[in-house]
Structure 1
């Protein structure tokens, strides 16, 4: 998925192209994208493709195409002080951009299946905080990443204002995702090859809107432990 905008020479060039193509439409989203160099989330030797509108995968490390992240960031309608949950947080690229908008009073949680990817995300976050020229220009809500399967979140976990799921959600898991959302909250996730924005309008009511046709790998189903039970993930 991707290829919707022309390749950039660097991160600013890529953002200019995403703006011109109307994928990035608000100033806060633009500032977050400009503050974090997408190329920094690539492994050495692979950065040549960082500013193309293409997804990238190497082992368990995966980045969606820039046009996808742009649509997600816009659809989440982020504001300072909100709580955010990233299901399948990966490299932490999206969570870090979100943290720049949430500010110091927000909550920024990510859950990722692969422990090596969580370590990678933590390294990239540390580098951003230590070395980025942008870091001091923002009040930051630092993301916290945990290892686990997002279909095994403990039932007593609190609900969130904003949720993104970065893997394809089967219809039978749709309600599970919706229940994690506060009333008035927004959930963005791929369902049946459509990136979908879901607004929780009441205790038992939701409104859905298709944003974009997408192709995402499906969520990995949980394994049972030796006792035949699922491990639960605390957030």
Structure 2
């Protein structure tokens, strides 16, 4: 399933295409998609295909098409503080994007059938935390994954605000999936070749909406003999945060949303832990780490005039913009290569490193990142 939008040159191009096709419709979902490069979840030899709107599989590792993930994210109606369960969590790409929205006081759990995929997902999660600037621009709910079959979850397990299943659900398992939800919760899953959104409106009442046609591999049924007891797959435990962790979250939040404007006054101080708050005051792109890229300027030319081997476009760009383009072209001629993207400054990291604190404490505030 996929191919609904054209391929992009990079992650931002892919998101632009998904927005243009109206798969991404809200700012919150757009921020999450821009913050995580889809190619980081591919094996290196397949990265060239990462920005195509196509599913990808290699062995047990699987990623759905970007248009599917965007429809799922929109249908889940996420906001900070919710609990989320990902059935068939795979590489952790979706769970990580969800974690950027849930914030530090949400719950982010996943269950995956294959142990090697769980190991791959934790490698990608560790890389995101240690190397991605996006981690410092969001309040993050770190996902936890366990190995098991999602059809063997103990009946006494907790219920969740949001549930997503990444495999085709047979009609006989629909009730099982619905009972994983809290009242008021939302379940999104492929059901009878349709991506389906189900809202639990009461203890025994539901609202169902078909979103788009999809083609998913079916759920893998549990394997056990009739005489043996079913093997249960316990979900991750819910752990109350320590006082130390709460202090780190609070300090990072304060540093993130407070910016000195040069007059000694604090800027952007808020009372709630909201996604991306204060980033505009800090001079950051509101959708996370966006790179400055040279784009093709589309101009309507009223007249073209040739003069001294130069083409002058009438009714086009402003003189200042044309001068900037000429300067860039001169720089390219001198260096012999195209201008490279310049990453945005990580304001939070700079502020933490500038604090008069012992190095171990700075590293803890940077969430155990390696220097």
- TM-score bin, normalised by smaller chain: over 0.9
Answer yes or no: is 1:59 the counterpart of 2:59: yes
Aligned to 2:160: 160
State the secondary structure of the residue aligned to 2:109.
strand
Aligned to 1:11: 11
Answer yes or no: is 1:101 the counterpart of 2:101: yes
State the secondary structure of the residue aligned to 2:133.
coil
Aligned to 2:119: 119
Q: How far apart are the structure 2 equivalents of 1:128 and 1:225?
A: 41
Provide Cα deviations, 1:44-68, integer angstroms capped at 9, x if missing partner. Answer: 1101110000000000000000000
Structure 1-normalised TM-score? 0.99
Structure 1 portions without partners, runs of 5+: none
Q: How far apart are the structure 1 equivalents of 2:153 and 2:84?
A: 15
Answer yes or no: is 1:76 the counterpart of 2:76: yes
Q: How far apart are the structure 2 equivalents of 1:228 and 1:102?
A: 39
Provide Cα deviations, 1:175-224, integer angstroms capped at 9, x if missing partner. Answer: 00000000000000000100000000000010100001000000000012
Structure 2 portions without partners, runs of 5+: 236-371
Provide Cα deviations, 1:89-129, integer angstroms capped at 9, x if missing partner. Answer: 00000000000000000000000000000000000000000
Q: How far apart are the structure 2 equivalents of 1:26 and 1:44?
A: 31
Q: How far apart are the structure 2 equivalents of 1:32 and 1:65?
A: 16
Aligned to 2:353: none
Answer yes or no: is 1:40 the counterpart of 2:58: no
Greater relative contact order structure (CA < 8 Å, 6+ sep): 1
Provide Cα deviations, 1:119-142, integer angstroms capped at 9, x if missing partner. Answer: 000000000000001110001000
State the secondary structure of the residue aligned to 1:111.
strand
Aligned to 1:27: 27
Displacement, 1:155? 1.1
CA RMSD of aligned residues (A): 1.0
Whether contact under 8 Å (1:225, 1:231) holds in the other structure is no
State the secondary structure of the residue aligned to 1:46.
helix
State the secondary structure of the residue aligned to 1:208.
strand
Answer yes or no: is 1:140 the counterpart of 2:140: yes
Name whichever structure is richer in strand by fraction.
1
Q: How far apart are the structure 2 equivalents of 1:227 and 1:112?
A: 26
Displacement, 1:143? 0.2
Displacement, 1:227? 6.3
Q: How far apart are the structure 1 equivalents of 2:101 and 2:227?
A: 42
Q: How far apart are the structure 2 equivalents of 1:229 and 1:90?
A: 27
State the secondary structure of the residue aligned to 1:200.
strand
Displacement, 1:226? 10
